[in-house]
Amino acid sequence: MVKSKGDVLFNILVYVIIFTVGLICLIPVLFVISASVTPYSELLKNGGFVLIPRKFTNVAYVEMLADGALSHAMWVTVKLTVIATALNLVVTLMLAYPLSRHSMPLSGAMMKIVMFCMLFDAGIVPTYLIVRKTGLINTLWAMIVPTLVSAYNLVIMKAFFEGLPEELFEAARIDGANEFRILWHLILPMALPIILTIGMYYAVDHWNCYLLSIYYITKDQLKPLQVILRRLLDASRNAADQELVPTETLKMAAVCYATAPIIVVYPFIQKYFVKGTLAGAVKG
């Protein structure tokens, strides 16, 4: 099929726009990585902006990893992310599936409650009082239970289930399958894209957990990575050897250290992420 000049020009325009947007997204990432491995004197010579470093140094990373609390905080964050994300997915799935079945009694009323919680938050003080009264202060559960279900993610997963053909459920019921068997053997394999998408949302939120740990955690051995990184950066600002490890260089290294695991995992689920986002956004 021969393309017209208009089609060729349109394709060229699309490629130029994609390349430009990709470059705009890539430049900040390159700057952060380069600034974390470039000697500070070299960074100053280039006006504080380097995309491709000519000289390399690992002083900022050595300074970060020298603090044993950072490795322990990484383990706390990994444990928090894995446990919390798994519980988030189980609870969200067990809520979204029955709410998507309009035959369930009071499903409409329950969805109105969910939407109300999506629009209005209880606030920090009432939530803190509940967490304290239930004895969750200074436990890992204090950062998990208050965010066990996201109303936004629940609505997305519910919309996905509602978009599945009703004939699938009817055929399974004719074969004698109950609702749990339908969910386990029929729905879950089809829902893998949306599950991984919602799981990514939850995992990123828990990986970046900062405010909840500030509110509910006072023990250093339970503080996640983001809190320890912030403490490390604050300490570097007051240190006398900033010429050796400047705060800005340490900050860039901290960003790389904190985001590296998410960047490594994302390419493996990217195709499911796109598919799940589209599937959960449109019903029918």
What was the pLDDT predicted at 240?
Answer: 47
Q: Which amino acid is at 151?
A: A
Q: Which two tokens stand for residue 52?
A: 């491709």
What was the pLDDT predicted at 2?
Answer: 59
What was the pLDDT predicted at 53?
Answer: 78
Q: The pTM is what?
A: 0.76
- Euclidean distance between CA atoms 18 and 16, whole angstroms: 6
Q: Which two tokens stand for residue 7?
A: 């089609």
- Euclidean distance between CA atoms 98 and 75, whole angstroms: 35
Residue 207: Cβ-neighbour burial (10 angstroms; 0-12, 13-18, 19+)? buried
Dihedral over Cα of 206, 193, 100, 178: its sign: negative
Q: Averaged in consecutive runs of 10 residues, what is the pLDDT profile of the chain (284 residues)?
A: 74 90 86 80 72 78 75 88 93 88 78 82 85 90 90 87 81 80 82 85 89 88 85 64 60 79 75 56 44
What was the pLDDT predicted at 81?
Answer: 92
